[in-house]
Amino acid sequence: SNFLCSIYFSTELSRQISHETVTPPDDELTNYDAEEIHLQETVLASILPSPSFLLEEEEPIVETSSRSFCEICLEEKASWQMFENDRCPHSFCYECTISHIISKIQDKANEIPCPAINCKAVLNSDSCRQIIPQKALVQWDEIHCMSLILDSQKLYCPFLDCSALFVNEFGGILGEIECLVCKRRFCGECMVAWHSDFTCKEFQKVYAKKGGKSDKIVKMLAKKRNWQKCPKCKMYVEKAEGCLHITCRCKYEFCYRCGSKWSESESHGNCKQKSRCCIFF
């Protein structure tokens, strides 16, 4: 309180000096008066702000964004443009990181390695999932699912134009299987087209004798079963029942007995047997 009273006294004294008091000539001042005025000026100078202080304006603080260097594109980027991995000290720009992740997903990678040279860390999968496109995310999820299936349980359709995946969940011996995708039948044990005239043991014995040439085995089987080959697509066709009029998968119509193109005429073209479509055999 003494300090506040002192400030009030000094301020009031300053007002009285500036408005009411007339300073006498220097020769009329006593030593006491000079000392008192000097003391008052010192007190006022310590309390009142200087004119230069009042005129000064506070300079605005400009925050500069930190810059980081991407080791992939070799460019400086703002900190908000950088992807940071919490499993290693490296960071790369988002654009390069996304390209790196997509490339590894296309290579069927279950985990994404850090792109830094000689770094053995992997990228945080949760962080990766937040920045990659939806299409790549779906593909990556499929890779994760595949990694959970044992290789011994994986089974693929043997037809090259299909190769659909099956899972042998119980690990037992599989026999005849119909592919859910291409609808063709194959042997799950021998992994070839279904060999209805052979047991797996017999087929594997013949397969070994033919040097592993499945086309030779098919020809041998076709000869044994009297299969006919479509004149257009050259695929074998087996007639289970019905007349000699065959319509192949390629939509070509021919006579199953002689292989001639089918005709609606009585002799249906150049059929060597002169058979009618109503004739069975």
User: Does residue 27 lie within any of the structural domains?
Assistant: no
pLDDT of residue 40: 66
User: Does residue 20 lie within any of the structural domains?
Assistant: no
Contact 218, 195 (CB under 8 A): no
Q: Are residues 219 and 230 in the same domain?
A: no
pLDDT 10s digit of each residue in the chain, 281 long?
444 445 445 555 555 554 444 455 555 555 556 666 666 666 566 665 555 554 455 555 544 558 889 989 999 989 899 998 888 989 899 999 999 999 999 998 889 999 998 999 999 989 999 999 999 999 999 888 888 777 777 888 888 888 888 887 766 677 888 888 888 888 888 878 887 777 888 777 776 665 555 666 667 777 777 788 888 888 778 777 778 888 887 888 888 888 888 876 555 555 555 545 445 44
User: Does residue 41 lie within any of the structural domains?
Assistant: no
User: Does residue 158 lie within any of the structural domains?
Assistant: yes
pLDDT of residue 62: 44
pLDDT of residue 261: 85
pLDDT of residue 83: 92
User: Does residue 51 lie within any of the structural domains?
Assistant: no
pLDDT of residue 115: 92
Q: Are residues 218 and 186 in the same domain?
A: yes
pLDDT of residue 1: 47
Residue where a domain stops, chosen among 109, 125, 147: 147
Contact 238, 225 (CB under 8 A): yes
Q: Which residues of 217-242 are buried (b: 16+ CB within 10 A; e: fewer)?
A: beeebeeeeebbebeeeeeebebeee
pLDDT of residue 16: 54
Q: Are residues 198 and 236 in the same domain?
A: no
Contact 203, 221 (CB under 8 A): no
CA 131/CA 8 separation, integer angstroms: 65
Domains in the chain, number: 3
Centre a 10 Å sphere on the Cβ of residue 157 and count the other Cβ atoms it contains.
Answer: 20
Structural domain boundaries, residue 266: 226-281
Q: Are residues 99 and 130 in the same domain?
A: yes
pTM: 0.42
User: Is 112 buried (19+), middle (13-18) or exposed (0-12) by CB count in 10 A?
Assistant: buried
Residue where a domain stops, chosen among 147, 182, 213: 147
Residue where a domain stops, chosen among 84, 116, 147: 147
Nearest CA among 29, 25, 46, 49 for reference residue 37: 29
User: Does residue 198 lie within any of the structural domains?
Assistant: yes
Q: Are residues 93 and 103 in the same domain?
A: yes
User: Does residue 276 lie within any of the structural domains?
Assistant: yes
